[in-house]
């Protein structure tokens, strides 16, 4: 099929590459000429395992194309996906101006006698599909035929390619049998269960799913506090809870809390949506509170041990919000570095993939960017593990101890084995493990 994806960011680029991989002809549209030029030159603007090879392969096969022209994209496509940013506003609600702008651009190029399916792929509040349809009808002067569909994405950064190629489920929300049939045809090669709903239900599924996962994270972090107070081990507790098939072990990992471009934004948006609908979602406000408290609890531990932060040499391993990505947006690790810098600590940071983005956006001004994990830890009076990269777990702890001034570790992600660290002479503190 011929598909257009407007927005070549994280969701748009991954989706485009994967759709092309299964045989569709895809044109990705982006209004950033520099980004399009880089993509045409073979440069990938984000790090995602497997994505670069997939893009290069399908560009070479002429199944994946890039342009800045919405008209070019919409003209030759049966289905048009909207995958533009939906950033948060100060009150937690979603800024839908990019969605509205794209809807108007699509309306301007739709022609009479042709039919298009317009797909909301961006994460949007419930009832956005209705507004997109209303906007296209208002600004299209040709009486073009179209339907709007909601098709939320469930991609995890660091696993996005396998998540799309082998999805748990595909959600299609629409009120038109013709549009739904075309969407089912698109996803037929993926051999995954398809859930067909109305548009509003599909839009709610995305926010409800992410909020529930964040709730699991905050729940186990709250349990971790009880474990620390009682001398219990949160990992053993999580194993016991997760063995129940009704619950599952995923997302029951205690740590510094969730971050990234999705969970904080989506939870704030779901709270704002529920408030607007007159059904306040107070449970999610507590999820936010617990999450914010986790980083502060770790900072309190560091302050208690070091007494004064000023001039203390502290190494921080990790800047991205999770491993296997270069995404530093709303990263708890970045926030922690800022906390330490605000306390006038001397901070050295290292991240396998996130340092270029951190430098580009000037997120941790005043920190030293190290060349390796051991370089960051050189002469450090304390080490904080802020992102659970496998590279950090594989570091030789004997070498680490040799380069540090003081063998003191604050493991904010429970990455290391406590007994091993302590047997080598480290003073070791983690989350919820006695």
Catalytic residues: 262
Query: What phi and psi, each to the nearest 5 degrees, are found at residue 307?
Result: 70, -60
Quote the CA–CA distance of 375 and 358 in Å, as a whole number: 18
- In the block, tokens 């999770």 appear at 322
User: Which string of DSSP letters, residue by residue, matches 323-374?
Assistant: SS----TT-HHHHHHHHHHHTT-EEEEE-TTTHHHHHHTTTTTT-EE-SSHH
Rounded to a whole number of angstroms, the CA Rg of the chain reads 24
CB atoms within 10 A of CB 279: 8
CB atoms within 10 A of CB 237: 18
Q: CB–CB of 224/432 below 8 Å?
A: yes
Q: CB–CB of 426/385 below 8 Å?
A: no
Residue 93 tokens, joined: 């609600």
109: left (phi over 0), alpha (psi -120 to 50) or beta: alpha
- In the block, tokens 């969970």 appear at 263
């Amino acid at each position: 099929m011929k598909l257009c994806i407007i927005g070549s960011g994280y969701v748009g680029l991954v989706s485009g590459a994967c759709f092309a991989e299964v045989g569709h002809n895809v044109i990705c549209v982006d209004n950033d000429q520099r980004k399009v030029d880089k993509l045409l030159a073979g440069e990938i603007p984000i790090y995602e395992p497997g994505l670069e090879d997939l893009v290069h392969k399908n560009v070479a096969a002429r199944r994946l194309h890039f342009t800045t022209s919405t008209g070019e994209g919409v003209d030759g496509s049966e289905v048009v996906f909207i995958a533009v940013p939906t950033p948060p506003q100060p009150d937690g609600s979603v800024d839908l101006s990019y969605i509205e702008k794209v809807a108007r651009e699509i309306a301007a190029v739709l022609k009479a006698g042709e039919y298009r399916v317009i797909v909301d792929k961006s994460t949007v509040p419930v009832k956005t599909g209705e507004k997109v349809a209303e906007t296209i009808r208002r600004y299209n002067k040709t009486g073009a035929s179209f339907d709007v569909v909601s098709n939320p994405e469930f991609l995890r950064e660091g696993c996005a390619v396998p998540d799309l190629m082998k999805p748990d489920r595909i959600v299609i929300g629409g009120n038109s049998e013709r549009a739904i049939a075309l969407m089912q045809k698109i996803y037929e090669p993926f051999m995954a269960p398809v859930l067909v709903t109305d548009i509003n239900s599909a839009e709610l599924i995305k926010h409800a799913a992410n909020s529930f996962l964040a709730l699991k994270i905050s729940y186990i972090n709250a349990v971790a506090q009880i474990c620390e107070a009682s001398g219990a081990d949160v990992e053993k507790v999580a194993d016991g809870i997760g063995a129940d098939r009704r619950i599952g072990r995923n997302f029951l990992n205690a740590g510094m809390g969730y971050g990234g471009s999705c969970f904080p934004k989506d939870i704030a948006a779901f709270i704002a949506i529920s408030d607007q609908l007159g059904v306040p979602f107070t449970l999610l406000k507590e999820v936010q509170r617990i999450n914010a408290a986790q980083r502060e609890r770790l900072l309190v531990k560091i302050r208690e041990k070091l007494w004064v932060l000023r001039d203390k040499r502290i190494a921080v391993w990790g800047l991205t919000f999770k491993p296997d990505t270069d995404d530093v947006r709303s990263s708890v690790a970045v926030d922690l570095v800022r906390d330490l810098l605000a306390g006038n600590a001397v901070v050295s940071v290292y991240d396998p993939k996130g340092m270029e983005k951190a430098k580009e956006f000037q997120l941790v001004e005043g920190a030293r960017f190290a060349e390796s994990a051991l370089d960051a830890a050189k002469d450090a009076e304390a080490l904080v593990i802020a992102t659970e990269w496998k590279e950090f777990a594989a570091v030789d702890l004997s070498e680490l101890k040799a380069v540090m001034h003081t063998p003191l570790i604050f493991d904010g992600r429970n990455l290391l084995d406590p007994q091993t660290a302590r047997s080598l002479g480290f003073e070791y503190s983690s989350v919820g493990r006695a």
